[in-house]
Amino acid sequence: MAENLVWGLVNIIYIFLGGLGVGAFFISALFILGGKVDKTHFTAARYGAFIAPLAAIAGALILPTELGHPFRAWRVFLNLVHGWQSPMFYGSWLLLLFIATSFFYALTFVPRQAAPDDARRKTRRTLAYIGLAIGFALGLYYGVLHAVMPARPFWNTPLLPFLFLFSAYASGIAGVILLRGLLHKKSGNADAESQYQNSGYQLLAWILALSVGQLVLLFTFILFGTGFADASMRQAVYLIMPGGVLATDFWAWVVLVGLVVPAAIALFYMAPRLFGERVSAAPRAAEIILPVTLLFGSYMLRYVVVVAGQLTGQAGLNFPFL
């Protein structure tokens, strides 16, 4: 398998890190912009604010190692005449702008005494809006990059940008949940605890929605790919169906561990409040297990998609003749 791969692990890790950054910014901005911002919201927003630029910068640093000529990469940014036809041109600029925005956004959280209504509030909120827009485009870009090629049937679906976007948002939120689970110190204060549970509930709700959303997209992809598409698309989807080389990776890691398990955990701990109007509190174990499984599944999703795409089309399968 490996010898056919033009885009390998470096690219997979890059789009995973980029997605993680986009998602972390997403939840951070949402918590800052959305309604009443209490202390736990702000703490969670702070975690997201720090994850976002770090993940995006890490991705941006690792990517040039797989270029044939890393020191010519600046050409992409200056390719203003013809670049508009290439998704990679857009993505490079979007990533650059996202890194800049998320970096300055993170700076507004750095001082220890930073609070929701401090002097940096206006800057923080403006950057949150800007970063939400850029992050949305960047999250879609990671899918668009792959989806625009009819030569690779597995990728050639408009569902892919949204699959990657949802997965990106979910990974960022998972990162925030993980940091909360690792760093939260139980205080004796009942108010503070209930605030913590409340913001935790909101995070779980997002995880549930995004995981279900991804499952719906994957279901649609498989339904159409196996039944209602042309021969090359059907051949492509068989890679992840039972018997295909990537079937185990897909169903075990992407679907079960990466989507069903986190969704189930989220639903389980949301249930008291969702169905019974009682208090919903996820234990620390859940706050660690859910993100770990989700992040692993999110990484495996990118692994399966990037590898499967390169095994379809002309490379590795029968050359369809006309």
Partner 1 sequence: MKQTQEAGATPGSSLPDGLEDRRQFLTKFASTTFAGLVAPAVVAGPAQAQTSPSSGQVEAVALYFELDEEDVLGRMTRDLMRALDKPLEQRHWSMVIDLRRCTGCQGCTIACIQENKLPPGIVYRPVREEVEGRFPNVSKRFLPRPCMQCDAPPCVPVCPANATWKRADGIVEIDYDACIGCGYCVQACPYEARTLDHGGFWGNNVAEGPEQYEKLPSLEYGEVHVRARGGSPIGNARKCHFCLHRIEQGLLPACVLSCMGRATFFGDKNDPDSLVSELIAKPNLMRLRVDLGTDPQVYYLT
Q: Which two tokens stand for residue 223?
A: 């339904």
Q: What is the amino acid identity at position 181? A: G
Nearer to partner 1, 124 or 152 (CB): 152
Of 77 and 219, which CB lies nearer to partner 1 in the complex structure? 77
Shortest spacing between CB 255 and partner 1, in angstroms: 25
Closest alpha carbon to 226 in 240, 215, 218, 237 = 237
Q: Which is nearer to partner 1, 1 or 182 (CB)?
A: 1
Under the rule (CB under 8 A), what is the footprint of partner 1?
A: 6-7, 67-70, 72-73, 75-76, 79, 81-83, 85-89, 92, 148-152, 309-310, 313-315, 319-322
Whole-angstrom Cα distance, residue 22 to residue 169?
Answer: 7
Q: CB-based contacts of 256: which residues, under 8 Å, 6+ apart?
A: none
Closest approach of Cβ 7 to partner 1, in Å?
A: 6
Least spacing, CB of residue 147 vs partner 1, in Å: 11
CA atoms within 13 A on the CB side of 112: 0
In whole angstroms, how close is the CB of 266 to partner 1 at the nearest point?
36
Nearer to partner 1, 293 or 310 (CB): 310
To the nearest whole angstrom, how small is the minimum distance from the Cβ of residue 170 to partner 1? 26
Give 53 or 153: the residue with its C-beta nearer to partner 1: 153
Contacts 24+ apart (CB under 8 A), 211-214: 211/170, 211/259, 211/260, 211/262, 211/263, 211/266, 211/294, 212/263, 213/166, 214/163, 214/166, 214/167, 214/170, 214/259, 214/301
> Cβ distance 68 to 74 under 8 Å?
no
3-state percent breakdown (helix, strand, coil) of the chain, nearest 5: 75, 0, 25
Cβ at position 312, least distance to partner 1 in Å: 11
Q: At closest approach, how far in Å is the CB of 318 from partner 1? A: 8
Which tokens go with 125? 């909120």
Instruction: Look up residue 229 and give its DSSP letter.
Output: S
**Closest distance between partner 1 and the C-beta of residue 314, in Å?**
4
**For partner 1, the closer CB: 88 or 252:** 88
Q: Can you tell me the distance from the alpha carbon of 226 to that of 249, in angstroms, rounded to the nearest whole number? A: 18
Which CB sits closer to partner 1, 158 or 242?
158
Tokens 């719906």 belong to residue: 216
Q: Where are the alpha helices (DSSP H) in 148-189?
A: 159-183
119 vs 151 by CB, closer to partner 1: 151
